[in-house]
Amino acid sequence: MAAVTGLLEWVFALYFLTHIPITLMIDLQPLVHGLLKWYAVTFKDSMMLEPPSWFKSFLCCEAALQLPFFPFAAYAFLKGWYGRNERIMLCMQSSCRYSF
């Protein structure tokens, strides 16, 4: 059972680590404008070119709440803290509820 738990902690840490560049390069494009034109032309995504206010508010929440949490969560899983600290478990669960 400990081997499975250790494997799951590494998988979750990898999940959170990979979401840092994904959030920066894809999700936050309407706020950052770096690759926005290329992305919008390539994938014909009108929502990213002229995002409505409600969409920008979601992106701001993602930038302010989720993005700073990703490195913390990855570190917590790599150190094996998830099952040992109630505060960390609560943060992880609330982040997962927001994501899905």
Q: Where are the domains of the chain?
A: 2-99
17-42 pLDDT per residue, tens: 999 998 888 888 877 766 777 777 78
Q: Measure the CA–CA gap between 96 and 81, rounded to whole angstroms.
A: 17
- The pLDDT of residue 39 is 77
CA dihedral 37, 38, 43, 49 (to 10 degrees): -10
- The pLDDT of residue 49 is 79
Residue with token string 């979401």: 19
- The pLDDT of residue 17 is 94
- The pLDDT of residue 34 is 66
Task: Extract the residue ranges of the chain whose pLDDT is less than 70.
Answer: 1-2, 33-34, 82-100
pTM comes to 0.70
∠ at Cα 99 (18, 80), nearest 5°? 55
3-class state of residue 1 by DSSP = coil
